[in-house]
Every structure is written in structure tokens, then in C-alpha cells.
A and B are shown apart, each in its own frame.
Chain A
Amino acid sequence: MTFLAPAFLWSLLALLPLAAIYFLKVKPRRRTTTAYFLWSRVLAEKQATSLLQRLRDLFSLLLMLLAFAAISLALAKPEFTSDERKDLILLIDHSASMSALEGGTSRLDAAKESAREIVRALDGNQRAAVVSIAREARFHSHLSASPRELLEAIDGIEPTDFPSNAAALRGFSDDTREGGDHRLLLLSDANFEEAASLPAEIELIKVGGPLGNAGITAADLQRLPDGSFGFFFRIASSFPETVEADLVLTHEGSGERIYKLIPLKIVPGENPPERFALPEAPDGAWTATLDLDDALEKDNRAYLTVPEPNPVRVAVATKDRFFFEVSVLSFERGAGILQLVDATPEVVLGTGSLEAGTTAAVVFAPSEASPHWGTPGEEVEVVAPRVVLDDHPILRHLEAESITFAGARQMTAPPGSLVLVESEAGTPLIFLTKQEGRGVVVVNLDPVASEFVLSPWFPVLIQGAALHLAGRGAEPVALYRPGDRVSVPGFREGQSSKVIAPDGTETAVAGPEYGPIEQLGFHSMESPVGSWRFGSTLATAVESLLDNSAIAATAGPLAKGHAPASWLIFLALVLLVAESVLYHRRKVG
């Protein structure tokens, strides 16, 4: 046992005068009575306790000495642990796995209770900060010595659906390594990547033990070329034995009707992925539910969406049609993003020149004069093309630097055009222009001479340009995870969208993306272009595999619970109250 303030032990000397005061004879007050004989009768019945009365002063002194000794020891702040009493940063994990129930209490509640115990043990000079950790770190209380403030901060931490993000911890450990004079205490179930290799600066206080749980760790639902749906999923289990459960697939528009029930035998660990075909399945929102009573409910359900097909109608207006048609058809089958048409196209693919009309177009190797690209000049040699707008939707999935711009010609983009790629000399190579209300993507290269038609970027460029010109972007995918960002399909500058979360919260979206997704379940997105639904599913194996037995707590000695000084003060109060009740009140009346 050590004392943080040993100087206060000198206050034990105060016991001597206290004892001296007790031994001084105090003359009691004189009370006269007219019925002395009645008093004698009353007091005669109390003779049995006369011995106790004679020892009363001694007991009283003993109690008072103990009380004052307890106060003196409390002032000296005794410690029973070798806690260094540095400032503490309490990192409380509130990721999805912390919602797992263990004996009716969630791991997060257990972590918060453990944090409260640490806060209660703070001495007056020690400070602590409260930080919640999941997708990112968030301070609920900066360094403070006020237990009340810290306890309120701990109470304010709510469970989230985010998977843990080990990267959020690194900033703290780097700071501590660089000389921060504090201790990093991570209160977590250790269900996150890198839990076994935490930096030495982070002391893990492990919350909860191994739990039996199974969850959906991956899922997808896609339309197949034959019109049916392909359903893919994967299950992970931390049950020590094989368990049997059903995976129930329901469609939102069909009420509670079960579309498919898949009996499963779930083995411990990550199970092999499984794939099923769903014939005549409707578009829309689908829910896959793992019917199993386990520790974590959040990972038992996957929310999937399949949007209604709305392909961009594309026509090919060139003599060498083969590669163009193959490119369009490659995005027609399966996903149904593009559709090859002969009449009423939304986008026309062409080479050399641009037919009259107002239909948007993608033109390769422009050769004839046009208001969209002027009059092409001599061929130019492009050694190192330069991407001007890397994040433009047309280039998002394209490696433009790797394209050989053979057959590119000297030209000037009309005023108001958006140059996406240019040569080192400034010649526009891919640019977007809009003249007389007609949008055109000009690709300044010969697709045959450059063998670009053989490149995988050729269909990618056609698909990106067609979607952009038609005012449609990539529609939401079947499954998102909390923390993901969702692109707004067909976003235009100045356009505003709205997302309605599962709990009804509405969020205005001014940019091209919404996110991060915070809740599990189906979201609705509405923009001037259209409306979509997308689902958010935990689908993270490390959050579902709740066996943390391999991870050991690494926290050093740490004072917890009420400080010994508090207990000593409490003991002193009890002794003083006992002395008052038993003796003092009797003595002075």
C-alpha cells in the first residue's frame, strides 16, 4: 500500500489531544426534581446496563479515535494498486459487435460500467477523457477531473451499427508514442481487425467473453442475363459447434410472404459462400433473415435492393459497328445499364462526324468540321496524356493515362467545354461540350489505329459517357455497409437530393454522394432525376465472429471503483454516526 499524500499522516497526531479531551472530567449539568423517588424507581430497572454505561466513555473514545484515524488516512490517499495515476484517455468501443448481449447486458453497457468504475477511482489531481470509437473517434469529454462531467460523457455514448475501424485508434497511439503523458485505455470486446496487434501504447480492457453468434457477412442480389436473380450470401459463426438455422428471403412488396427459405448447417468460422437462383423474382427491396437466436441480432439480417432496369438507349452510327455494339451489349446483359437500339436513341455513338439532330453523342476521331470541336488540324503525337478532371463520372472507372491516343488531331475545344483529358501540349483529347443544346463527348483518337477498341477501357468509356450524357449515373448497388457512401445517380451541379433513413430521419444531400450510412435497413433516396432505395447491412465478418478468447487484456494496474479514501471517509461517517447514536446524543441530550 502506498500513499499519494503521505504528509497528511501527520494529522494522526491530532488523536492525542482528542484522547486528552476525552479523559478530562466534564461535570454534568445539575437537574433538580420533585419526584426523586420516582426517578429512582425508573433507573432501578436500568441496573443491568450499568456496566455498559461505565464503559461508555471508553467505547465512545474508541469510536472517535477510529473515525479520526480513518479521516487522516483518507487525506493521505492510500493506494492498493501500482497505478501510475497518469491522465487517462478512455476509448470506449461502441461498434456493432458491442451490442451483443451477454447475460442480458450488452457489451457496451459492460464497457460503460467499467469506465464508470475507473472514473470513480480518479483521485483529485488525475484527469480523464472519454472517447467513443467505432468508424471514427469522437471525444465526448476532453481531459477533465470532474467525475460528474466524465460520467455524463460515458452515459452519452450510444451503440452504433458501424464496424470497428482500427485506423481510428492509430492517431491516439501515435500521439502517445510522441510523448503524450497519458494512458490509453481501450474498453472493447476486441472484435476488430488488428486487435491482436494493437500498438503497445493502447492498453486493452477486454469486455465480454466468447459468445455464440452467427451472422451474414456478405450478400448480393443481381439480375442475371436470363431475367432471374442470383442470390449470393456468406455466413460466419462463432458457435463452437455446428448449428442449424434457416435463411429466410422475403420481398418488401409481397408483405410477409417468404419468397425462399434456405435451410443451413452453419459450421464454426467463416462458411463457404452459397449462391441460389431466384426465378421470376421482382425488383425492389429484399430482406434475408437468419432465423437464429444468438448474441448479436444486428448481423442476422441483410437488406438488399435490385433497382428496376432503366437502360440508356444507345444507337451506333458508324460503319465499323462491331466493337461499338459489343461494348453496348456488354452492359446490356446482366446489369441492364445500356440498351442497343436502332430508333429513338438517347445517345448515339459515332466516328469522324456528327449527324444532324439533337441527340447526345459520343464521337471518336472527329475529322470533319463541327461546332462541337471546330476544324481538326494535323495529327499530334501524344506521349503522356494528362487527366484534368480525375473524378469526373466519365473517367471515374477509367485509367485514362494508359490509353494510347493514336490518331489524335490538333483541335480546340469550344468555349464552355469541359476538358477531361489533354495532351502535354494542351490539345484536348477527351472533352465534354454542349452546343445548341446538344451534349457531345469528343474522344480525340482513332479507336482502330490506337487499338483502343481492343482495350477494356473502350466499353468502360462508352458506358461512362452514355450514362453521363443520358443524365443517369451508377444506380445504388445491392448492398451497402454502415460507413459506406452512396453516389447520387445522375447528379448535376446545383442539384439537391434527399435521403430518408430507416428511422425516418431526412437528410438533404447537396453533393454527389450521401454518407456515411449510419443505420442498418432500407434507405430512400429522392433526387430530381428519380428515386431509389438502398439497403445497409452489417455484413462484416469480424463483427459477427464474437469469439474473443484469443485476445488477452493488456491493461496495466489500474485503480477501479471508489477510491480507498472514499471508503475511509464513509467508514469515518459511519463511526461518527454510530458514536452519536449510541453515546453522544445520550451524553449531551
Chain B
Amino acid sequence: MFTDPSFVRRLESLYLLARKVLSGSLQADRKTTRKGAGITFADYAEYRLGDDFRSIDWRIYAKFESLIIKLFELEEDATIYLLVDGSRSMESKFRYARELAAALGYIALNSLDRLCVYGLADTLRPVVEPCRGRGKAMGMLKALEEMETFGGDTDFTLCAREFQARRKRKGVVIVISDFLFPGGFEEGLKYLQWHRHDLYCLQVQDDGDRRCDWKGDATLECVETGQTRRITVTPAEARAYEAAVAGWNESLREHCARSRIGLASTGPEVAFDTVIQEILRRGGLVA
């Protein structure tokens, strides 16, 4: 399935597009927003104790007698962490989420970045151990193909803590999930951001999440916990639910905007490669 030649060809096309858009080379293939010791000028900054003397712009010092250093875009050998929501709430869009993860992982490995994939639910479960290089792409695809939903009630905060405990190295963390976490998403995202990860949220929801197209008496069952309750849904209640979901998604959008976290919302009705292309055309995984 994920290792089918046709699917791999679609991933290869996305990689070529990524190369064209991001214009990187060798191990510094991926641009970040962080400033550092690269070769591309980014900005000026006042000299502070400990800064590299080599960065001081002596011409400015000669002219203004103030120590100013030049900043360059950091081009680094980045680590890409894919946190794929593997909880049972993702059942209906799990394949789609894995396709998105496969596309991003494929581009990362072909860009010589380090890649690590985890499944998250009530706990964190490794899917692809840290790896690097094009040769690991098929293994990564195979692992995603075999990935299954698991666990009970999703606890994103706990998963974030577990992730940070396992992977201390900073990197780009891409969370692929519906973000319908009963415990909320803010704390987990803040925790990861606190540990200086570049964060990007890829929200995947389908109509079943966003809308209630049934009415009447029903036994409502939570797909993750199996919890049930008898309810009667009238048009008013259906509208209230849809408004609640919309409000939840809006709060995610506001939080990401406020915290400079990249966010893209999509659903299975849009082909995964279309979503990736759109992200790439917008300049990559930047907020």
C-alpha cells in the first residue's frame, strides 16, 4: 500500500517540489527561522558577551564605534519528529493521517534530515526510530503501513512529556491529529515549544467530527473510551454540537497564531499530496 510504486512516485514528486521550493543543498537542506552561523545574511544584532568575534561587523564599528554582529540563517542538520495521532478517534481518517506522515517523512529522509515517527494516544508509541538517509525511506513507509490505532483516551500533554523525555534534541515537531483532545491541546503544545522545538500542527478532521447529521434518541458512545450515555438530539442540539466543534477548532487556530505555531487544517476530502503541495508553496513548515 504505502510501498506501492505508484504511491512512492507521488511522494517522489512531492520531494522534487520541496527541493525546488526550499532550494537547499546537502546537509543544510532545510531553512529554519532561527538565526545562526550560516552563509546567508539574515539580520544585525548588538554584540553581547560570548558572541563570536568573527561575526562583528568592523566596518560599522569604524564608522559608529559600536559593536554590531551580523546574523546568518542557520542551516542545520535538522531532526524531524512526526507525532501521528494513533488514537481510536482517528479511525476514520487514520489512513489519511499516515499518508500525510509518509509524505513529510519521505521528503525529510530525502533531504538528509533525521526522522523520527511516534504514534500518540493515551501514551507515546514509537513507530520509526530515529533514522537518516534516503535508504531508510522504504522502512519508514513500511512502518507507517503497519501502524494501527491504539490506546484509550488521548492525553496529548502526557505524550508531549514522554516525547521530551525520550528525545532531548531540538527539532521540528509535526503533530498530525484531529486535536480533539479531551484534556486540551494548549498545555502539550506549550510544553514542546518551551523545549525549543519548531512546532507545526496538521489538523485532520472529517465530516463525522465536524457535523452531526443524525437526530433523535441514541446511545452515544465515545470511540476512545467506550463510555456511553442516552441522549436525544434535536436540531438545536445538533447545531450546538457543530458550534462547539467550530469553537474548539477556532481556539486551536488562535492558540497557534498567538504562539507562532504553524497550522494547516485539512480532511480526507482533500488529497494528501495537494495538502503537502500547498504547505510547500506557502514556504514550508513555518508559522
Binding site for B on A (CB under 8 A): 27-43, 45-46, 53, 56, 585-589
Query: Chain B, interface size: which category?
Result: 20 to 34
Cβ distance A15 to chain B, nearest Cβ, rounded Å: 24
Report the nearest A residue to B182, measured CB to CB. Answer: A37
CA–CA, A40 and B248, complex, Å: 14
Residues facing A in B215-249 (CB within 8 A) are 215-225, 227-234, 237, 240-241, 244-245, 248
Do B237 and A28 touch across chains, with their CB atoms under 8 A apart? no
**In the complex the two chains form, what is the Cα distance from A56 to B248 in whole Å?**
32
Q: B180 at interface (Cβ–Cβ under 8 A)?
A: yes
> Quick one: which of A28, A32, A46, A586 has the most chain B CB within 10 A?
A32
With A42-B237, A589-B215 as known contacts, state yes or no: A36 contacts B225, CB within 8 Å.
yes
Inter-chain contact B182/A28, CB cutoff 8 Å: no
Contacts of A589 in B (CB 8 A): 214-218, 233
B99 located at the interface, meaning its Cβ lies under 8 Å from any Cβ of chain A in the complex: no
B73 is an interface residue with CB less than 8 A from chain A: no
Among candidates A31, A46, A587, residue contacting B237 with C-beta atoms closer than 8 Å: A46
Query: With A35-B245, A38-B180 as given contacts, are A30 and B218 in contact (CB-CB < 8 Å)?
Result: yes
CB of A84, distance to nearest CB on chain B (Å) = 52
Give chain B residues whose Cβ lies under 8 Å from the Cβ of A40: 229
Chain B: which residue is nearest A34 at the CB level?
A: B89
With A and B bound together, what is the CA distance between A586 and B235 in angstroms? 9
B209 at the interface (CB under 8 A from A): yes
Q: Which residues of A contact B223 (CB under 8 A)?
A: 32-34, 36
Which 9 A-B residue pairs are closest in the complex by CB-CB distance? A589-B216, A589-B215, A36-B222, A34-B89, A37-B182, A28-B217, A31-B218, A42-B240, A38-B244
Q: In the complex the two chains form, is B237's CB within 8 Å of A33's CB?
A: no
Contact of A34 with B208 in the complex, beta carbons under 8 Å: yes
In the bound complex, how far is the Cα of B244 from the Cα of A43, in angstroms?
11
Instruction: Output the least CB separation between B183 and chain A (Å).
Output: 9
**Docked-complex contact B209 and A30, CB < 8 angstroms:** no
- Bound complex: CA A518 to CA B215 (Å): 69
Query: In the complex, A310 Cα to B226 Cα: how many Å?
Result: 116
Nearest chain B residue, comparing its CB with the CB of A33: B220
Once bound together, how far apart are the Cα atoms of A39 and B231, in whole Å? 10
Docked complex Cα distance between A94 and B223 (Å) = 79
Cross-chain contact B245 with A28 (CB below 8 angstroms) = no
B198 on interface, CB distance cutoff 8 Å? no
| Contacts A43-B231, A46-B237; A38 near B248 (Cβ below 8 A) | yes
Chain B residues, Cβ within 8 Å of A56 = 232
Which residue on A lies nearest to B223, using beta carbons? A32
Q: Do A36 and B217 touch (CB < 8 A)?
A: no
Determine the distance from Cα of A53 to Cα of B229 in the docked complex, in whole angstroms: 14
Least CB separation from B183: chain A residue: A37
Residues of B within 8 A of A30 (CB): 218-219, 221, 228
Distance of B17 from chain A, by nearest CB (Å): 32
Tell which of A38, A53, A585, A587 touches B241, judged by Cβ atoms closer than 8 Å. Answer: A38
The residue of chain B having its C-beta at the shortest distance from the C-beta of A56 within the complex is: B232
Among the listed A27, A36, A53, A587, which residue makes an inter-chain contact with B220, where contact means beta carbons less than 8 Å apart? Answer: A36
Are B233 and A45 in contact (CB-based, < 8 A)? no
Residue contact B218 to A42, C-beta cutoff 8 Å: no
Across the interface, A586 reaches (CB within 8 A) one of B178, B180, B232, namely: B232
CA distance A218 to B245 in the complex (A): 90
Contact B218 A29 (CB under 8 A): yes
Cβ contacts under 8 Å, A586 to chain B: 215-217, 232, 234
- The answer to whether A36 and B241 have CB atoms under 8 Å apart is no
Instruction: List CB contacts (< 8 Å) of B226-283 with chain A.
Output: 227-234, 237, 240-241, 244-245, 248
Cα separation A322 to B229 with both chains bound (whole Å): 127
Q: Distance in Å from the Cβ of B96 to the closest Cβ of chain A?
A: 14
Q: Name which residue of chain B comes closest to A31, CB basis.
A: B218
Complex contacts, A39 vs chain B, CB 8 Å: 220, 231, 241
Collect the chain A residues with CB atoms within 8 Å of residue B180's CB.
34-35, 37-38
Q: List 28 A-B contacts (CB under 8 A).
A: A27-B219, A28-B230, A30-B219, A31-B218, A31-B219, A32-B222, A33-B223, A34-B92, A34-B223, A35-B89, A35-B180, A36-B182, A36-B221, A37-B180, A38-B180, A39-B220, A39-B231, A39-B241, A40-B229, A42-B237, A56-B232, A587-B217, A588-B217, A589-B214, A589-B215, A589-B216, A589-B217, A589-B218
CB distance from B168 to the nearest CB of A (A): 32
Determine whether the beta carbon of B244 is less than 8 Å from that of A41.
Answer: yes
Q: In whole Å, how far is B242's beta carbon from the nearest beta carbon of chain A?
A: 10
Output the nearest chain B residue to A42 by Cβ-Cβ distance.
B240
Q: A583 to B220, alpha carbons, bound, how many Å? A: 19
* Contact, CB under 8 Å: A33 / B222: yes
How distant is the Cα of A27 from the Cα of B218 in the complex, in angstroms? 8
Which residue from chain B places its CB closest to the CB of A35 in the assembled complex? B180
The residue of chain B having its C-beta at the shortest distance from the C-beta of A45 within the complex is: B240
Q: Using A30-B221, A31-B214, A586-B232 as known contacts, say yes or no to A36 and B227 having CB atoms under 8 A apart.
A: yes
Q: Which residue of A lies closest to B219 (CB)?
A: A30
Q: How far is the CA of A589 from the CA of B231 in the complex (A)?
A: 12
* CB–CB B221/A33 < 8 A: yes
- Complex Cα distance, B216 from A587, in Å, reads 4
Q: Which residues of A contact B209 (CB under 8 A)?
A: 34-35
Assembly CA distance A384 to B125 (angstroms): 142
A28 in complex: contacting residue of B218, B227, B240, CB < 8 Å: B218
With A38-B180, A586-B234 in contact, is A31–B241 under 8 Å at CB? no
